Every structure is written in C-alpha cells, then in structure tokens.
Structure 1
C-alpha cells in the first residue's frame, strides 16, 4: 500500500477516532468511522482495531462495485459497513459517516418504546440544521439486530419513504450514527447530538422528566 500523503483522508479519521476515544465514545474496538472519496469508494475502519491507537493500515477501502481493498490479508471491513454503505446510497451529499457507542446514546434509546426519540428544543439543534422556533424534532430509532444487514435494510426502507429531520439515527442499545457533507461537519454533528443526549439524561435525573 502506498505511503499516506498529508491530505490522506485516513489521517483525519485517525485523529477523529482518537478524539472520540478520549471522550469515552469509542472505547476498545467499539464504533466505526468512514469517509467517501471522489470516485464513490470509501475508507472505513477495519474490524477489531483499537480506536484510540489506529494507524494508516487500520482501514479498508470499499468500492461501488463491491471490491474490497485490504492493507493486509487479515484486515476485514467493520461489521457495520452495510450501514455506512446505505447512508452513502441514500444521501449523495454525505462525505463521511461516524458511529460511536456512548453510554448516553444507549440510555436515551431506552427512554421511549417507539421508533423515534423526541428531542428538546435546544439551541444546539441549529447546529444540526434545525432553525425553527421551538421545533418539534425527533431522532429515528432502529432495532439492534444481530445481522447488521437487517439494520441497514430497515434504515433504507424507512428513509426511502421519510427523510429524517436530522443527519443522525439511533440504534437501540447500540449507539448513534451521524453523517455530513464534510469530516468537520460530521464531527460537529456527532458532538452536538451527544450534548443533546447528555442533556436528556441529566434532565431525567434532575427534573424527573419522562
């Protein structure tokens, strides 16, 4: 594999993964990050890699025709590659997709039994593209199936009919996935939704909100 250049997308993914690891959102091998390239392929973190210690060869490249470029024969794409693929298929403007496993994301996914989590009308929603006054906003929730392809299929089926209000979704007892038109935008989106999750957890503890 060629040596990385200074603008290699993987270098930014390494730094982002380290930052998320330090926040406690990608502990151990949990979570996965990807970035789409101009030819429609995308780099995604390889399965089983520590997100706080990624190196340039800890990524697998997935091509539109299904071809997989592996740095070593033992490198395997993240188990959740199918979810990233369906996000890129559904949202052509998306250039990166991040999935993390935070405690708060898992807690709030249990706050409702329905398939959508109501969000408080916080100022932070503006950073996610919601500029209404007192917005009525929800985040989609999907069931956590053992077979990841089933999750991806359900995401495709729902979002093909109804465009989500936010560039984010929750998988119950699993974590949050966000996407954006650049790596910076996607990182900001993830930090914003995690702030909202922390607020929801704190509000329930302090105010007993249901």
Structure 2
C-alpha cells in the first residue's frame, strides 16, 4: 500500500478534513478504490484526522467482505455500492459537517437544489452559475443495507453526481481521484454554507 500515491493523498485529505472540523469525534468514513474487485475503507472508531495506512482495511467491493477480519466502518456497504454503481469513481469522502447536517434537515424535499453560485463551477462539468446542481437527500437509517438499497433504487433512474446527503447525518461525496473528491467536498461545503446563510437571512 505504501507505493500507492492515491493512498497518501487520501491520508492527507483526512488530515485536512480533521483540521476543518468536518469529522468530529470518530465520525465519518473514507475509502479508496484499488482495482475492480477491492477498495480500502477506514476502520471503525478511528479519528479521521490522524489516520495511518494501518487504519485502512482491504474490502472486497462485491460483497463488503473484509479478509483481515477487522471491523470497517459500519457504512462500508454504501461505499462498496457507490463503487459498483460508478466504475469511474476512485475515492469517497463521508463527512459530518454542521452545514451539511443542518441543511439536510432544513430541506424537506428529496434533493437540495443549488443555483446562482459561482462556486458551482468547482464541481466537475459545471459551467455556469445559472445551472442547477441537485444533491439528493436520503432519510437516515441505522440499517445500512436498507439505506444502500434505497440509494441503489434511486440511482436506477437518476444518476448521482458529486455526492448525496443523508438527513441529519452528513455528506457522501466522491471523485475520479482523491484530488477531485477533495475539491468536490470543499466546493460543496462552501455552497452549503452559502445556502444556509441565505435561508437564515431570508427568514428574518
């Protein structure tokens, strides 16, 4: 694993996320695709701001099986689902920021629609602030297979771009490589903060 530059990039991204306060306590989980059959997923109960290579566990993407017998994140099934749905995705970052968590509860519909922000162009393929960026929202569930099944059903008809929110929980976002996933995370967090501030001001 030590020769994988994407692994080093993921560990650096985790430290950066920790410094931002987007994964308080031991919240959140991160992963990296290794090949068509395997990924690395963070071990359960680890502080994401101080991860080492040993805190990332080998997981079989098709089954979420962990050959080492150690315990990966409880939400590993969502990571492996995303890798199965979208072969182009190389890294997934799941965070618990205040802005993402609050907005996912304030917004009562099935998606958060972002429009009118120049920073939408931080998301791959976005060319104009006039376009709409739709971030799907799924109700939280401690039954991860059930939650994953709902995400899979949604994705059958509506491709998920950039990421999705879990209500009252946080954000899953991704990219083809760690750098793109990190850029998407930073861009979405900025947009979430702007949207939350806008709603607060308009409510006065």
TM-score (norm. length: structure 2): 0.92
> Contact 1:124–1:196 at 8 Å: present in 2 too?
yes
The answer to whether the aligner puts 1:93 opposite 2:88 as a matched pair is yes
Map Cα deviations across residues 153-182 of structure 1 (whole Å, 9 max, x no partner).
Answer: 111000111113x31100000000011111
Q: CA RMSD in A?
A: 1.7
Shift of 1:131: 1.9
The answer to whether the aligner puts 1:40 opposite 2:37 as a matched pair is yes
Q: What is the SS of the residue equivalent to 2:186?
A: helix
The answer to whether the aligner puts 1:163 opposite 2:159 as a matched pair is yes
Shift of 1:10: 3.3
Identify the range of structure 1 (126-135 vs 97-106) with the bigger mean alpha-carbon deviation.
Answer: 126-135
The answer to whether the aligner puts 1:119 opposite 2:114 as a matched pair is yes
Structure 1's consecutive aligned runs of 4 or more residues displaced over 6 angstroms after TM superposition are none
Aligned residue number for residue 14 of structure 2: 17
> Contact 1:29–1:51 at 8 Å: present in 2 too?
yes
Instruction: Provide the C-alpha distance between the structure 1 equivalents of 2:54 and 2:67, rounded to a whole number of angstroms.
Output: 11
Identify the range of structure 1 (124-133 vs 34-43) with the bigger mean alpha-carbon deviation.
Answer: 124-133
Instruction: Provide the C-alpha distance between the structure 2 equivalents of 1:57 and 1:163, rounded to a whole number of angstroms.
Output: 33
> Contact 1:90–1:160 at 8 Å: present in 2 too?
no
Relative to 1, partners in 2 of residues 1:207 and 1:87: Cα closer, same or farther, differing over 3 Å? same
Decide which structure has greater helix share.
2
Map Cα deviations across residues 35-87 of structure 1 (whole Å, 9 max, x no partner).
Answer: 001343100100001112212211111124534133xx5x3111111111111
